Amino acid sequence: MIFQDKRILITGGTGSLGKSLVRSIMTGKFGTPKQVIVFSRDEDKQYAMEIEWKKMRSATDDIFYYGDDVLGFCIGDVRDYESVVRVVKKADVIINAAALKQVPIGEYFPFESVKTNILGAQNIIRAILETENNVETMLAVSTDKACKPVNTYGMCKAIQERLVVEANLICPKTRFICVRYGNVIASRGSVIPLFQEQIRSGGPVTITSKEMTRFMITMDNAINLIVETIRSAEAGDIYIPILSSAKTLDLAEVMIGDRKIDIKVIGIRPGEKIHEILVSEEEIPRTIRRGNYYVICPVLPKIRKVKITRPVLAKELSSSDNTMTKGKLKEFLQADGYLNL
């Protein structure tokens, strides 16, 4: 019960992942938390979320609302050190889900990505280092775009991963760890809501390339990955889920089904890759298998605890390999209701 009696701080707590994390933690299935703190700069989303939770107090089957003080809301920005310090002092566990993650926007405003995705993470680390606190674990949410990055977002997340690994040397009382995964289905910015809206409007459905592939993970599996990483990771580990991938063309065709809707190729957007990578060739020598996950051990030998004698991967983990058939993709989407329009 890893969250039993813990104060859990979720930065970016009003985003798609943040809200789902709050809901999952508040079920009590990972232990009854002392407090869950939602930290973000969007007061409208915080207000809407607070009202939604107050309505849940007496009328849900799966949520156990523990009282007014258990779910807390704090306006602030990971870019602002002073506001970060305030909440870090309250936390036992920090999940850094704050991100500026839209790839093309990052290309047009690269320093904005730097401020959120690099300096924001460093502010959390600095607050842990420089203040009196009880932070046991800080987990950073990364992305497959951090592996051999070609866009600003991926480059920033790659540096964030390095900052988190190095933090284990300068803050030895806190465990710093990461997760890295692909596209969360139906999250903010995901292609699935876009396709759904385009299909409802009669089309066309727009794709960037007929060859493009992407790793796909459900929100539930993303949360399970975070929980398992907090449960079992060593300092500096980056946990990687074993994911299915799909062609975006196949995804569009499966979602369209028998409807008479055209597919239009609009070209690759700024910063996009054709294929994504979760584990690179360079990372294979320090990658192990732990349960249902791959784990990239720290790049710094001083932190690495595992001696690796035989690589678990023969080549880099690319979304271009072992893509789902259309039949498997349909089953995958149906299982979570993503074909319902």
Task: Return the H-helix or E-strand segment holding 281.
Answer: none
Name the phi and psi angles at 119, rounded to 5.
-65, -30
- Could you confirm whether 145 is annotated as catalytic? yes
What's the CA gap between 325 and 160, in Å, rounded?
34
Rg, Å, the chain Cα set: 20
Q: Among 145, 157, 247, 273, which one carries the catalytic annotation? A: 145
Amino acid at 337: G
What's the CA gap between 126 and 133, in Å, rounded?
12
What's the CA gap between 143 and 15, in Å, rounded?
16
Cα torsion at 95, 88, 75, 35 (round to 10°)? 70
Whole-Å CA distances, 199 to 184, 252, 327, 338: 20, 9, 20, 13
Query: Residue with structure tokens 């074909």?
Result: 339
Residues in Cβ contact with 101 at an 8 Å cutoff, skipping those fewer than 6 apart: 143, 153, 189
Catalytic positions are 145
